Structure 1
């Protein structure tokens, strides 16, 4: 206890340097824990981009490619699915619901998704959360109605009742536009933090109406053009779609339905389990995740080296202090223990301040981060893994404190009271 009081008094005497050292350790610790929480929640959010869907069905390709274009709106399908194939599996006795997806068009860089009203009823994300409308309603019988994702509406400043023109293809700038068939905004979805926010949703009939008079990727000319009014009177059942999301009556039937789809003789199809494909995709990004963790560890190491530098720098100035302590009966190991206690006190204060900064940061940023990025950062106690990180860093601080302690131990044996200033 005497050594601890002396160590604290010594740090108080050098309070400015000590506070800077504590703050440096606190910032590095806060960064490390923040990175860990963001990594964990990003992984959980990534895994819950789609929730409650048992199978994703598309043209036969790779599982990651199918996941990317059907869920994340990245890339393009290798082929389409015939409408009769979709109906065949939508009516399968083990299928509870089916959501058709049709991709291919865009609007100012944002993807357009043709789907049915089952999308708003059954699509789930983030641990079984349902899509909610912030304004308006889902599209209805009129094929030229669109429901915007939150990011689309905010970035392009669209409101209910606004008219917009879709473009053919997915380029940011397209010269081929469906300007003869404008769409009216009837709904805006609440923010989800998923690719839904960056998507414009129209009905399958609307997607079909856009391409009634298109051939080989080009619009018809003159009298062959079909107006929006005439398109409303025609049969707008699609001939093909891009992908299907399936929900089953029983999880037990997942593999049997998947096998039936993969072995379907009508056309080459692929059915994937979203969770398995998500893990496969996440593993491809594991290098960047680990690199971020290593960078944050080096930041913590920099903070600890700063502590070591501060103690070593003050050591020469404190040689008379050590000599006086020796004259009062302190043994060399007392001197070494004093330096170790100082390093421990600095590191412990840095850890506590780092935790405080972390929780303050989470409290301030929790709502906007969840709203804009879909990441929920919980204000809970450190996890066992985080405690192990804190313990490892405290142990590293004790080891680093052993360096100045050893030097002080050696000097105190040689100096006595004969030090020359």
Structure 2
């Protein structure tokens, strides 16, 4: 039988079933969208978690667990067991091999967002992701005592703009029960560009400002009968007495274990230092159940998607019984029928996969900023992961296998069964 005639006949058959085939392509596209979407969410979730801090060689704080130290310094979750003295921070700067030290002071909040007291060196040395520095979306860093630089999520959620005045509250909860610092308002001078890290949810002020709002407080409670106004506070010595923790950068990363040993054996007070990367891996082992759940969901979606693909093909068997019998009666061998059906299945599956990938890319580009601002989930376009390649290969294989089912059916049925009218 003429192959070109057979192909032309198959093309006319496909065109005659264009609506059914379009539904099949849409089904495969939806399966691809769900599979790759879940896998992309899983990988980007871990990437966002592990990229919260980079370029910092050691994190130093009072002796506690490494996970707890990481949580309150990087993710601003929980509280420190104790502060470290300012004199200890100054001594850390003098250690051999230390390039820079950025002190951090925590404990206050604004509308549920943590407040971080630090120095201008924080904006110079803090890195996230692939050694990316912090960038200002607009405005400038704090210069005056009552200046504040806010993260992108703080600005977007609360609708803040440059030169807007805000007040801070004592404690880390959304409800402060009157324990606020309304007598010393701050002016927003800068808004940081979005990073997809806890920086986006943080209000940054200077260490001196952190001291200023607590000059008439003691152990977290306002001193009764004592009120020091904001202008009077400017005249006071606002050098911090203690800070919560510190970030350290080294001149040579090869000396990290030597410096870590010096910090852990610090004589003036009990301190501990951790490697951020190691602590992040330990923390992910604890909270990584979400990743395992997404991986399981991805596998279930793959199973359901492939079962749905086979079901769609099987649903069209009855309408193709007569067509396949006609092809065989016209002289097509079983090999020709199987080859045409396999080619049709591969092309349909590839069309569905390409459509699904395009739909996912469009959603990431259009809905990515909204997902990040609303749920804090940063989805990025990138090269497919090995798992995604495996899922795509599984879809393609399932489409090819499903396309052979009509051929096997045609082989088992007689020509008379396919050509006889059904009553």
Give TM-score scaled by structure 2 length.
Answer: 0.89
Separation in 2, partners of 1:385, 1:198? 32
The farther-off stretch of 55-64 and 336-345 is 336-345
Unaligned runs of at least 5 residues, structure 2: none
Matches of 1:250 and 1:392 in 2, distance apart? Answer: 46
Q: After the TM superposition, which residues 356-371 of structure 1 pair with which residues of structure 2 at under 5 Å, given as runs?
A: 356-365=358-367
1:291-370 superposed matches below 5 A: 291-365=293-367
Q: Give the corresponding residue for 2:87.
A: 84
| 1:51-78 CA distance string (max 9 Å, x none) | 2111111111222211111011111112
Matches within 5 A, 1:82-121: 82-121=85-124
Confirm or deny that 1:54 pairs with 2:52.
Answer: no
Matched, 1:261 2:234: no
RMSD: 2.7
- Which aligned pairs between 1:5-16 and structure 2 lie closer than 5 A? 5-16=8-19
1:70 is aligned to 2:73: yes
CA distance in 2, matches of 1:293, 1:235: 55
Say how many residue pairs are matched: 418
Is residue 2:200 matched to residue 1:197? yes
Q: Is the 8 A contact 1:50 1:123 kept in 2?
A: yes
User: Is the Cα contact below 8 Å between 1:335 and 1:409 reproduced in 2?
Assistant: no
Shift in Å, 1:112: 0.7
Q: Report the Cα offset of residue 115 of structure 1.
A: 0.7
Once the two structures are TM-superposed, the CA of residue 332 in structure 1 deviates from its matched residue by 4.3
Is 1:213 aligned to 2:216, yes or no?
Answer: yes
Contact 1:69 1:76 in 2 (8 A): yes
Q: Residue 245 in 1 paired to residue 247 in 2? A: yes
**Contact 1:123–1:130 (8 Å) recurs in 2:** yes
Find the aligned partners of 2:422 and 2:159 in 1 and give their Cα distance.
Answer: 75
Which whole-Å CA distance do the structure 1 matches of 2:407 and 2:274 have between them? 60
SS of structure 2 residue aligned to 1:184:
strand
State the secondary structure of the residue aligned to 1:197: helix
Checking the alignment, whether the CA contact within 8 Å between 1:57 and 1:272 is kept in structure 2 is yes
For structure 1, the 5+ residue unaligned runs are none
Alpha-carbon distance, 1:376 to partner: 6.5
Distance across 1 between alignment mates of 2:317 and 2:58: 66
In 1, the alpha carbon distance for the partners of 2:40 and 2:315 equals: 35
1: CA distance between counterparts of 2:92 and 2:315?
74
User: Per-residue displacement from partner, 1:280-332 (whole Å, max 9, x unpaired)?
Assistant: 22233433223324434443444433332233223223333333333233344
Distance 2:333 2:386 in 1: 39
- Is the 2:361–2:381 Cα contact (8 Å) retained in structure 1? no
Query: What corresponds to 2:126 in structure 1?
Result: 123
Aligned-residue offset at 1:334:
4.5
Correspondence for 1:275: 277
Moved more, 409-418 or 103-112: 409-418
